[in-house]
Chain A
Amino acid sequence: MLSHFNFRVILQYLPLFLKGLWATSWISAISIFFALLLGVLACSMRLSSTGFLKKTAGVYIESMRATPLLAQLYFFYFGLPTLHINLNEIQTGILALSLNSGAYIAEIVRAGIVSIPDGQTEAGTAYGLTYLQRMRYIILPQALGVTIPALLGQFIVLVKDSSLVSLISVLELTRAGQLMASERFMPTEGFFTVAAFYLVIYFVLKYLSTLWQNRLIYREP
Chain B
Amino acid sequence: MYAFYFKSLIHSLPLFFKGLWITILVSGISLVAGTVLGIICGIFRTVKRWGLSRIMGAYADYMRGVPFLVHIFIIYFILPEVGIQLEPFPAAAIALTIYAGAYISEIVAAGILSVPRGQREAATAYGLNAFQQMRHIVFPQAFKVILPPLVGEYVLLIKDSSIVSVIGLTDVTRVGWLTVQRIPEGIMVFGLVGILYFVICYPLIHLSHILEKKVSYDAQ
A interface residue numbers (CB < 8 A to B): 1, 62-63, 65-72, 74-83, 156, 160-161, 163-164, 166-167, 174, 177-178, 181, 187-188, 191-192, 194-195, 198-199, 201-203, 206
Known: A78-B186, A195-B66. 11 other contacts (CB 8 A): A1-B81, A1-B82, A70-B163, A74-B173, A74-B193, A79-B187, A79-B190, A164-B163, A167-B69, A191-B78, A194-B70
A71 x B197 contact (CB < 8 A): yes
Candidates B158, B177, B189, B202; contact of A62 at CB < 8 Å: B202
B162 x A188 contact (CB < 8 A): no
Shortest CB distance A207–B (Å): 12
A78 x B193 contact (CB < 8 A): no
**B180 neighbours in A (Cβ, 8 Å):** 74, 78
0 or 1 for each of B69-99: is its CB under 8 Å from A? (1 = yes): 1110110011001100000000000000000
A191 x B74 contact (CB < 8 A): yes
A177 x B73 contact (CB < 8 A): yes
Shortest CB distance A198–B (Å): 5
Q: A62-B202, A167-B166 are in contact. Are A74 and B81 (CB under 8 A)?
A: no
Identify 16 residue pairs between A and B in the complex whose beta-carbon atoms are under 8 Å apart, listed by A's number.
A63-B198, A66-B202, A71-B197, A75-B187, A79-B185, A79-B190, A80-B186, A164-B69, A174-B70, A178-B73, A181-B77, A188-B78, A191-B74, A194-B70, A199-B66, A201-B65
**B202 neighbours in A (Cβ, 8 Å):** 62, 66
Shortest CB distance B4–A (Å): 14
Shortest CB distance B84–A (Å): 11
A71 x B190 contact (CB < 8 A): yes
Majority SS at the chain A contact face: helix
**A69 neighbours in B (Cβ, 8 Å):** 159, 162
Cα-based distance from A163 to B70 in the complex (angstroms): 8
Candidates A65, A71, A166; contact of B173 at CB < 8 Å: A71
Shortest CB distance B107–A (Å): 14
Q: A65-B205, A75-B187, A78-B190 are in contact. Are A202 and B78 (CB under 8 A)?
A: no
A-B pair number, CB within 8 angstroms: 137
Cα-based distance from A72 to B190 in the complex (angstroms): 8
Cα-based distance from A67 to B194 in the complex (angstroms): 6
**B61 neighbours in A (Cβ, 8 Å):** 199, 202-203, 206
**A79 neighbours in B (Cβ, 8 Å):** 185-187, 190-191
Shortest CB distance A162–B (Å): 8
Q: A75-B190, A188-B81, A191-B70 are in contact. Are A203 and B65 (CB under 8 A)?
A: yes
Q: Tell me the count of chain B residues lying within 8 A, CB to CB, of chain A.
A: 43
Cα-based distance from A66 to B78 in the complex (angstroms): 32
Does B155 have its Cβ within 8 Å of any Cβ on chain A? Answer: yes
A74 x B176 contact (CB < 8 A): yes
B70 x A198 contact (CB < 8 A): yes
Cα-based distance from A78 to B173 in the complex (angstroms): 13
Cα-based distance from A166 to B166 in the complex (angstroms): 11
Cα-based distance from A110 to B71 in the complex (angstroms): 32
Candidates A181, A188, A198, A203; contact of B67 at CB < 8 Å: A198
- Smallest Cβ-Cβ distance to A189: which chain B residue: B78
Shortest CB distance A77–B (Å): 7
**A71 neighbours in B (Cβ, 8 Å):** 162, 173, 176, 190, 193-194, 197
Shortest CB distance A23–B (Å): 14
Cα-based distance from A12 to B62 in the complex (angstroms): 26
Cα-based distance from A217 to B70 in the complex (angstroms): 35
A63 x B194 contact (CB < 8 A): yes
0 or 1 for each of B36-79: is its CB under 8 Å from A? (1 = yes): 00000000000000000000000001101111111101100110
Shortest CB distance B2–A (Å): 10
Shortest CB distance A16–B (Å): 16
- Smallest Cβ-Cβ distance to A153: which chain B residue: B64
A82 x B187 contact (CB < 8 A): yes
Cα-based distance from A163 to B166 in the complex (angstroms): 12
